[in-house]
Amino acid sequence: MHIRGDSLDDLLRSVFRRIMRDGLNISPRKGDAREVIGAKLTLLNPRARFSRAETRAVLFSCLGEFMWILSGSDNLAHIEYYIPRYRNFSNDGRTLRGAYGPRMFGGNPSQFNEIAAAISENADSRQNVVQIFKRDDLNDGNKDVPCTCTLQFFKRQNRLHLLVSMRSNDAFIGLPHDVFCFTMLQEIMARKVGCELGEYHHVAGSLHLYDKNRAKVRQYFGEAVQSRLAMPPMPVGDPSDAISKLIALESQYRTESIRDFSTDGLDPYWADLARLLMAKRLFTERKVGAMRQIRREMSSRVYDAYIRGEHDRLIPIEKAAEQLPLPNLTTQSA
C-alpha cells in the first residue's frame, strides 16, 4: 500500500479507508484491530502537518510532544502535561525508557547534529541515519518499546527528504503525532544544512486501526475538513538559538503561571509556537481573556482555529462556575 497526499488529512482519509477495507484482523495486547503490513505514506507538503478536522485537531499535544523530544527529556511529568496516557508506559512512574529525546539529542554531539554535519560534508551520502529502536528495548518488563526504528535523511537537488521507518503505527492516535514531530525535525534539519524542504516518506511495518477507535473514525469522515492550510516556512538559517529559547520558554510555561506574554528576541515563526504553548497553559488555568489576547497577537492565522477551539471549550466551564452558589463569607469558624 502506497498513499500519497498533499496534507495530513489527505493521508488520514485514505489510510482509514484502506485499513477498514483491506486490513486483516489481529488481536495484539492493546486490543482487537485491523492491520495493513508494509504500508508507505508520502506527504508531498510536509508543512501541511496537522489535521483541520475537529476529531483529529491535536495540535497542542503534537507541539508538546515535539518540544519534549527537542529538549532531550525522558521525564514523565513533562510529557504527561500534554499527553496523560504516557503514564501507562512508565516503568518507574518518573521516566520513559523509550523516550526519543535522549536518543536523538543526547550526547555531545547528538545523533541529530552528527547527521547535520555529515550531510553538509557529503550531500549524496546514504548513511545519514538516526537510530531510535535498540536491541535492549525488547527486554522483559519494558513498557515503553519505541514504535520508531530509524530516521533517514536525504539531501537531493537542494531539497531535504526524510524517510521514517516504524515497526508499528496506530493510524488514529499515533500517526498524526508522528507526522507532525518528524516533519518538524525534517524542516529543522533542512534549515541547518541550508536547503529547501523535500518530501516526507513514512513506512510502517504494521499500520493498524484499533476497533475501539472505529466510531471516532466514522465521526472524522462526517466532518467537513477546512481548507488545507499549512504552517508558514521556518525562517532561513540554523534555528539552534531560537530552539534553545523556545525550550526555555516551554519549561517556564509548563511549570509556572504565565505573567508575561513577551516573546522578545524570537522571529515571528518561533514566537507563534511560544504563544501556542502559552495558550495551553492559559487553558489549564482557565484564563479566557488572556487566551483572547494570545489569539490577537499571533502572527499567522493558520493556528487561529486551534486557539479558538480551546477558548470556546472554556466558555461553558466559566458559565457553569458563575452559576455555583457563593460561599457564606459571614460565617466564622468556632
Dihedral sign of CA atoms 259, 265, 270, 272 in order: positive
pLDDT of amino acid 315: 55
Query: For strand 159-170 and strand 148-156, is the pairing parallel, antiparallel, or unpaired?
Result: antiparallel
Q: Which of 159, 163, 183, 216 is nearest to 69 (CA)?
A: 183
Find the helix or strand (DSSP H, E) in which 61 lies. Answer: helix 59-70
pLDDT tens column, 112-135: 999 999 999 888 889 999 999 999
pLDDT of amino acid 243: 96
Cell numbers found for residue 28: 495484539
- DSSP β-bridge partners for residue 87: none
The answer to whether the CB of 163 falls within 8 A of the CB of 201 is: yes
Query: What are the E-state strand segments in 123-230?
Result: 129-131, 148-156, 159-170, 196-210
Per-residue confidence at 151, pLDDT binned at 50, 70, 90? Answer: very high
Mean pLDDT of 39-53: 92
Number of neighbours of residue 231 by Cβ within 10 angstroms:
22
What are the DSSP calls for 273-325, one per residue? Answer: HHHHHHHHHHHHTT-HHHHHHHHHH-S-GGGHHHHHHHHHHHHHHHHHHHTSP
**What's the first-to-final CA gap in the chain, in angstroms?**
73
**What span, in angstroms and rounded, lies between the C-alpha atoms of 270 and 108?**
25
Hey, what amino acid is at 324?
L
Mean pLDDT of 142-154: 95
Q: What is the DSSP letter of 123?
A: T
pLDDT at 96 over 50: yes
Mean pLDDT of 12-31: 93
pLDDT of amino acid 311: 56
334 against 53, higher pLDDT: 53
Q: Is 28 left (phi over 0), alpha (psi -120 to 50) or beta?
A: beta
Find the helix or strand (DSSP H, E) in which 111 lies. Answer: helix 111-121
Percent of the chain whose predicted confidence (pLDDT) is above 90: 68
Mean pLDDT of 234-247: 96
**What span, in angstroms and rounded, lies between the C-alpha atoms of 113 and 108?**
9
pLDDT at 27 over 70: yes
Predicted model pTM: 0.89
Per-residue confidence at 316, pLDDT binned at 50, 70, 90? Answer: low
pLDDT of amino acid 320: 45
Number of neighbours of residue 292 by Cβ within 10 angstroms:
14
- Site of grid cell 493510524: 171
pLDDT at 310 over 70: no
pLDDT of amino acid 328: 41
Per-residue confidence at 327, pLDDT binned at 50, 70, 90? Answer: very low
pLDDT of amino acid 325: 46
pLDDT at 289 over 90: no
Mean pLDDT of 33-52: 94
pLDDT of amino acid 225: 63
pLDDT of amino acid 321: 41
The answer to whether the CB of 97 falls within 8 A of the CB of 117 is: no
pLDDT at 330 over 50: no
pLDDT at 155 over 50: yes
Lowest mean pLDDT among 1-15, 140-154, 276-290: 276-290
pLDDT tens column, 162-197: 999 999 999 999 999 999 999 999 999 999 999 999
Q: Is the peptide bond before 109 cis (omega within 30 degrees of 0)?
A: yes
The answer to whether the CB of 166 falls within 8 A of the CB of 203 is: yes
Q: Which of 171, 154, 247 is nearest to 13 (CA)?
A: 171
pLDDT of amino acid 194: 95
Please give the mean pLDDT across all residues of the chain. Answer: 88
pLDDT of amino acid 284: 85
SS3 268: helix
pLDDT at 314 over 70: no
pLDDT of amino acid 213: 93
